[in-house]
Chains A and B, each alone.
Chain A
Amino acid sequence: MNTLYACMAGVLIGGAAYLLLARDLIRLLLGLMLLVTGANVAVFVAGRVRHAVSPIIPEGLEAAPDLTASNPLPQAFVLTAIVIGFGTFAFLLALLSAMNGKLQRLDADQLPDADSDGQLPAKRTKESG
C-alpha cells in the first residue's frame, strides 16, 4: 500500500512536470496544483499508511490502548499544506483572471516584460503559434 502511494506521488509530480512546461498559463496553473498534490501525497505516505484505528485516546486512559493507532502528525501536515495550496490556487486563479481581463491572453511567452519597457509583444497569430 505504501508503495502504491509512493508511485502515485511520482505519477502526480511527473504529470505536473509535463504541465509546467506548457506555454498556456492555465496548464501551468494546473501543473502547479498537481505538483502540490503530489507533494501532499508524499508527506502522507512518509507517515506510513496502514489499516489502523484512529489515534484517539479513550477517556480515562493515559495512552492509546495498543500500538495500532495511525500516525496523526502527517495528516496534520497535509491538512496545513492543503489549505496553503488552496489559498495559493485561489490567488493564482484571480491573478490569471485579472490578466486575461487586461491583456486578453494567457500565454507564458507573451507576458509583459520589464525588458521591453512595459510594451506588450505583438499578439501571436495562429500560423506562427
Chain B
Amino acid sequence: MNGLLIAPIALPLGAAVVSVTVRRHLIVQRVLSFLAVAAGVLVPGLVLLVRGLHGEITVVHLGGWSAPLGIVLVADALSSAMVVITGLIGLASIVYSYSGVDGRRLGLFHPLVTLLLAGVSGAFLTGDLFNLYVWFEVILIASFGLIVLGGSALELGAAVKYAALNIVPTTFLLIAVALVYGMTGTLNMADVARALPGLEDRTAPRVVFLLLLVAFGSKAAIFPLFFWLPASYPTPSVPVSALFAGLLTKVGVYSMYRVFLIVLPQELAELRWVVGSVAAATMVVGVLGALAQDEIRRILSFHIISQIGYMVMGIALLTAAGALGGIFYVLHHIIVKTNLFLIGGIAGRVSGSTELDKMGGLLRSHPGLAALFVIPAASLAGVPPLSGFWAKLLLVKSGLDIEAYVLVALALVVGLLTLLSMSKIWQKAFWSAPRKQRPEPRSNWVLYLPVTALSGLTVAIGLYAEVLGRIAERAAVQLFDPASYIDAVLGTTLAIGDGGTP
C-alpha cells in the first residue's frame, strides 16, 4: 500500500539514474523509461484514483516518522488524477521521442524526462510545503537540462529567460515557506491548515498568500507573470515542449488548488478579487497574444496562458462547482495541449517548417493528420461534444450560479477567439494550397501512436464526460472539506505508523 504512493516518484527517479549509465544504449533507455512511467506512474495512479473515487485519502508517512514530524505523501482524488495524467502524458512524449529527438545529446533525453516526471509526481503527491519546494526545484533542474538539450544559440537564449524567470518565483515559494514555519512551527499542509485559523495576526497569512500567488502563478504563467513561457516553450524539441506544455504550468495550477483551498481558504476568500481579476486578464491577454502569432508552437504557447485563466477562474469562483469545472478543465487541457504540440511537431516535420506562412496543403497530403488536428483544436475552443465543451460548460454554469457575469462573459468571448486562432492554423497549414516543393516527408507511424491515442481520449472524454466529471467532483468536494484532509493526514498517525518507531 505504501508502494502505491512511493512508486510514482521512486521508479522514474530510479530509471533516470540507471538511464544515465546506459547513455550509449538508446534501446535500453527507451524501454526503461517506458516501463518506469507505465508501471511506476500510470498504474499506481489508476489504483489510487479508484480508491480516491470512493472518498479514500491514502497517506504514507515516509521513514515511519509520524505526521506532522515527518514528510507525508497524500493521495486524494485530485492528486491521483494528476498522477494518472502525468503517466499518460509522459508515455505520449516518450513514445513520440522514439522517432528521434532533434538534439545532439540524445543520451540525456530519457534520464531528464524521467527525472522531470518524478518531480511532477512528487509535487502532486506531497503533503508538505518544504517538500513541495524541493519538487519544484527538481522539476526546474530537469527542465533546464531539457531546454538546452539541443545546444543551439536559440535554446541557450530560451534557457536563460526560463531560468531567470523561474528561479525568482521558486525563491518566493521558499520565502513563503519560511514565513509559514515562523508563524506555525510546522510545514505539514494539514497541520498548517489546522494551526493557521487560530492565529491572531491576519497580516502574515495574507502576505504568505500573495507570495504563493506570485510563486505558483509564475509557474502557471498567469498575467502578468507569463513572459517566460512563449519565450522558452517553442524552442526545445517537440516531445520536450509537448511535455512542458501539458504538465509544467499545471503543477502551478494544482499547487494553487491544493494550498489555497486546503491551507489558506480564509485568505483566498479575502483576496478573491485579486485571483479573479488575474484570471480574467490571463484569459484575455493570452488569447490576444495567440492571435498575433504566426508560428504554430508560439500560437499554442499563448493558448496555454489563455487556458490557465480558465483554470484559475475555477478557484476564484470559490464554490465546489467552480473547482469542479476548474479541475475538469485542467485534466482535459493537459491531454489536448500536449496533443496539439505533438501534432504541430508532425506538421512541422512534414512541411519542413512550423511557420504558418511556409506551410500549406496538409489536408490534401496528410488527411489523417488533419483529422487528428481538428479534434484537439476544436476541443480547445470548446466545440461540443468534445472535452473542452464540457469543461467550459461546467465553469460557465458555476459562474452563472454565483452571478459572476463579467468572468463568464469574458470566458465565452475568449472561447470564440480561441476558435478564431485555431481556424487560422487550420486555414494556413491544412486548408490552403501547397506553398512550394516540400522536402520529402519524414513522418512515420510511431509519431501517430501517441497523437491518435490522445485524440481518442479527447473524444472519449467528450462522449463520456460523466466519468471525468465524477473524478473532478470528488476532487472538488475533498478540496472544500479540509477537515477530512486534516483528519486523514494527522488523525490516523498511530494506525499507519507501521514503518516502526524511528
Residue B456 at the A interface, CB < 8 A? no
Residue A68 at the B interface, CB < 8 A? no
Cβ of B160 and Cβ of A96 under 8 Å apart? yes
15 extra interface residue pairs, beta carbon distance < 8 Å, beyond A46-B179, A80-B134, A84-B134: A35-B168, A43-B178, A45-B182, A46-B178, A48-B182, A81-B133, A87-B141, A88-B167, A95-B156, A99-B156, A103-B156, A111-B160, A114-B235, A117-B355, A118-B152
Which residues of chain B from 104 to 158 have any CB-CB distance to chain A below 8 Å in the complex?
130, 133-134, 137, 140-141, 144, 148, 151-154, 156-158
Query: How far, in Å, is A108 (CB) from chain B's closest CB?
Result: 8
Q: How far is the CA of A120 from the CA of B153 in the complex (A)?
A: 9
Cβ of A95 and Cβ of B168 under 8 Å apart? no
How many A residues touch the partner, as a band?
35 or more
Which residues of chain B from 214 to 256 have any CB-CB distance to chain A below 8 Å in the complex?
230-231, 234-235
Residue B2 at the A interface, CB < 8 A? no
Q: How far is the CA of A28 from the CA of B330 in the complex (A)?
A: 34
Residue A66 at the B interface, CB < 8 A? no
Cβ-neighbour of B154 out of A32, A95, A112 (below 8 A) = A112
Cβ of A112 and Cβ of B178 under 8 Å apart? no
Q: How many residues of B contact A (CB 8 A)?
A: 37
Query: How far, in Å, is B123 (CB) from chain A's closest CB?
Result: 15
Residue B298 at the A interface, CB < 8 A? yes
Smallest CB gap from A17: residue in B: B168
Smallest CB gap from A46: residue in B: B182
Query: How far, in Å, is A85 (CB) from chain B's closest CB?
Result: 9
Query: How far, in Å, is A47 (CB) from chain B's closest CB?
Result: 7
Cβ-neighbour of B234 out of A32, A108, A114, A120 (below 8 A) = A114
Residue B164 at the A interface, CB < 8 A? yes
Smallest CB gap from B147: residue in A: A95
Given A96-B160, A114-B295, residue A42 in contact with residue B141 (CB < 8 A): no
Cβ of B154 and Cβ of A118 under 8 Å apart? yes
A–B pairs, 19, beta carbons within 8 Å: A20-B164, A32-B167, A32-B171, A35-B167, A38-B175, A40-B174, A42-B175, A43-B175, A45-B178, A45-B182, A46-B181, A77-B130, A95-B160, A95-B163, A96-B160, A99-B153, A113-B157, A113-B231, A114-B231
B161: A residues at CB distance < 8 A:
111
Cβ-neighbour of B141 out of A20, A32, A43, A91 (below 8 A) = A91
Cβ of A28 and Cβ of B234 under 8 Å apart? no
Smallest CB gap from A118: residue in B: B154
Nearest 6 pairs of A and B residues by beta carbon: A46-B182, A111-B157, A112-B157, A43-B178, A46-B178, A42-B178
Query: How far, in Å, is A93 (CB) from chain B's closest CB?
Result: 11
B174: A residues at CB distance < 8 A:
36, 39-40, 42-43, 81
Residue B259 at the A interface, CB < 8 A? no
